A and B are shown apart, each in its own frame.
Chain A
Amino acid sequence: MKRVILLMAVLLMAVGAYAQTTVEFWHAMTGHNGEMVQVIADKFNASQKDYKVVPVYKGSYVDTMNAGIAAFRAGNPPAIIQVYEVGTATMMAAKNAIKPVYQLMAENNMKWDPNMYIPTIKSYYSTSDGRMLSMPFNSSTAVMYYNKDAFRKAGLDPEKPPVTWPEFFEVAKKLKASGMEGGFTTNWISWIQLENFSAWHNLPFGTRSNGFDGLDTQLVFNSPIHVRHFQNMYDLSKTGVFIYGGRENKANPLFTSGRVGLHFESIGGYGNMKANCKFEFGVARLPYYPDVPGAPQNSIIGGASLWVFNGRPQAEYKGVAEFFNFISQPEIQSLWHKETGYLPITNAAYELTKSEGYYKTNPGLEVAIKQLLNKAPTANSMGIRFGNFQIIREIEDQVWEDILAGKISVKDGLDKMVRDGNKTLREFEKLYK
Chain B
Amino acid sequence: MSKQYEFKAPILPYILVLPQMVIVFIFFFWPAAQAILQSFYLQDPFGGRMIFVGFQNYSRLLADPDYWQSFTVSTAFAVCITVGAMTISLFLAIQANKKIRFASFYKTMLIWPYAVSTLVAGAIWLFMFNPNVGVIAYMLKHTFHVDWQYLLNFNQAFLLLTLAATWKQLAYNFVFFLAGLQSVPATLIEAAEIDGASPSTRFWKIIFPMLSPTTFYLLVMNLVYGFFETFPIIHQITQGAPGKSTGILVYKVWRDGVINLDLGSSAAQSVILMIMVILLTVFQFRFIERRVTY
Residues of A that sit less than 8 Å from B by CB: 62, 66, 69, 72-73, 90, 93-97, 244-247, 250-251, 253-254, 257, 388, 390-391, 394, 397-399, 401-402, 404-405, 407, 427, 430-432
Residue of B132, B261, B262 with highest tally of chain A CB at under 10 A:
B132
- 18 more contacts with CB within 8 A, not counting A398-B240, A405-B153, are A69-B45, A69-B46, A72-B46, A90-B45, A245-B151, A246-B151, A247-B239, A247-B241, A254-B132, A390-B261, A394-B260, A398-B244, A401-B152, A401-B242, A427-B262, A431-B42, A431-B43, A432-B44
**B152 near A244 (CB under 8 angstroms)?**
yes
**B42 near A427 (CB under 8 angstroms)?**
yes
**B48 near A90 (CB under 8 angstroms)?**
no
Contact A399 B243, CB 8 Å, known A90-B45, A95-B48, A431-B44: yes
A94 to B261, CA, bound (A): 13
**B45 near A405 (CB under 8 angstroms)?**
no
**A246 near B48 (CB under 8 angstroms)?**
no
A-B contact pairs, 12 of them (CB 8 A): A66-B258, A72-B47, A94-B45, A96-B48, A247-B241, A253-B133, A390-B259, A390-B260, A391-B260, A391-B262, A405-B242, A431-B44
Nearest residue (CB) in A for B60 is A427
Contacting residue for A244 out of B45, B151, B261, CB 8 A: B151
**B259 near A407 (CB under 8 angstroms)?**
no
Nearest residue (CB) in A for B152 is A405
Contact A388 B260, CB 8 Å, known A407-B243, A431-B49, A431-B51: yes
Instruction: Give every chain B residue within 8 A of A399 (Cβ-Cβ).
Output: 243
**B243 near A398 (CB under 8 angstroms)?**
yes
Instruction: Give every chain A residue within 8 A of B212 (Cβ-Cβ).
Output: none
Instruction: Give every chain A residue within 8 A of B47 (Cβ-Cβ).
Output: 72-73
**A97 near B48 (CB under 8 angstroms)?**
yes
Proximity bits, B249-291, A CB within 8 Å = 1, else 0: 0000001001111100000000000000000000000000000
Nearest residue (CB) in A for B257 is A66
Nearest residue (CB) in B for A394 is B260
Interface of A is mostly: helix
A94 to B153, CA, bound (A): 40
Instruction: Give every chain B residue within 8 A of A391 (Cβ-Cβ).
Output: 260, 262
Residue of B51, B153, B259 with highest tally of chain A CB at under 10 A:
B259
**A73 near B153 (CB under 8 angstroms)?**
no
**B259 near A253 (CB under 8 angstroms)?**
no
A428 to B54, CA, bound (A): 17
Contacting residue for A405 out of B243, B244, B260, CB 8 A: B243
Instruction: Give every chain B residue within 8 A of A427 (Cβ-Cβ).
Output: 42, 262
Instruction: Give every chain B residue within 8 A of A405 (Cβ-Cβ).
Output: 152-154, 242-243
Contact residues of B between 212 and 256, Cβ < 8 Å to A: 239-244, 255
**A94 near B48 (CB under 8 angstroms)?**
yes
Contact A93 B44, CB 8 Å, known A244-B151, A394-B260: yes
A415 to B176, CA, bound (A): 52
Instruction: Give every chain B residue within 8 A of A402 (Cβ-Cβ).
Output: 242-243
Task: Check B149 for interface membership: any CB of A closer than 8 A.
Answer: yes
A93 to B153, CA, bound (A): 39
Shortest beta-carbon distance, A259 to chain B, in Å?
Answer: 8
Contact A250 B132, CB 8 Å, known A388-B260, A398-B243, A398-B244: yes
Contact A430 B51, CB 8 Å, known A388-B262, A405-B152: yes
A254 to B138, CA, bound (A): 12
**A246 near B49 (CB under 8 angstroms)?**
no
